[in-house]
Amino acid sequence: MNHLLSILDLTKEQIIDYIATAEQFKKENAFYTNMNNRILVNLFYEPSTRTSCSFQTAMIKLGGHVINVTDKYSSVEKGESLEDTIKTLCCYADIIAIRHPQKGSVQTASLASSVPLINAGDGNGEHPTQALLDIFTIKTELMKYNLDITSDNRDRENIVITFVGDLKNSRTIHSLIHILYLFSKVSFHFICPKGLELPTEIINILNERTITFTTDLSLEEALKTTDVLYVTRIQKERFQSNEEYKSIVETEQDKYVITRSILHQYAKEKMIIMHPLPRLNEIEPEIDNDPRAVYFEQVKNGVYMRMAILENLLS
* Full 3-state SS string of 89-101: HCCCCCEEEEEEC
Determine the Cα–Cα distance for residues 160 and 212; give it in Å rounded to an integer.
10
Identify whether 72 is a catalytic site residue: no
**Distances 67 to 53, 84, 88, 234 between C-alpha atoms, Å:** 12, 17, 13, 31
- Interhelix angle 128-142/171-180, rounded to 10 degrees, is 60
Among residues 21, 27, 4, 313, the alpha carbon closest in space to that of 179 is found at 4
Determine the Cα–Cα distance for residues 172 and 132; give it in Å rounded to an integer.
10
Which one from 26, 38, 50, 65 is the annotated catalytic residue? 50
Which one from 27, 33, 72, 78 is the annotated catalytic residue? 78
Identify whether 154 is a catalytic site residue: no
Identify whether 78 is a catalytic site residue: yes
Which one from 21, 51, 85, 162 is the annotated catalytic residue? 51
Give Dmax (Cα) for the chain: 60
Indicate the DSSP class of residue 283. B
Q: Are strands 186-191 and 228-231 parallel, antiparallel or unpaired?
A: unpaired
Give the Cβ contact number of residue 262 at 10 Å.
15
Which one from 127, 168, 178, 189 is the annotated catalytic residue? 127
Among residues 217, 216, 223, 222, the alpha carbon closest in space to that of 264 is found at 223
DSSP three-state, residue 230: strand
Which one from 61, 99, 171, 275 is the annotated catalytic residue? 99
55: left (phi over 0), alpha (psi -120 to 50) or beta: alpha
Among residues 98, 116, 149, the alpha carbon closest in space to that of 315 is found at 116
Identify whether 194 is a catalytic site residue: no
Catalytic residues: 50-51, 78, 99, 127
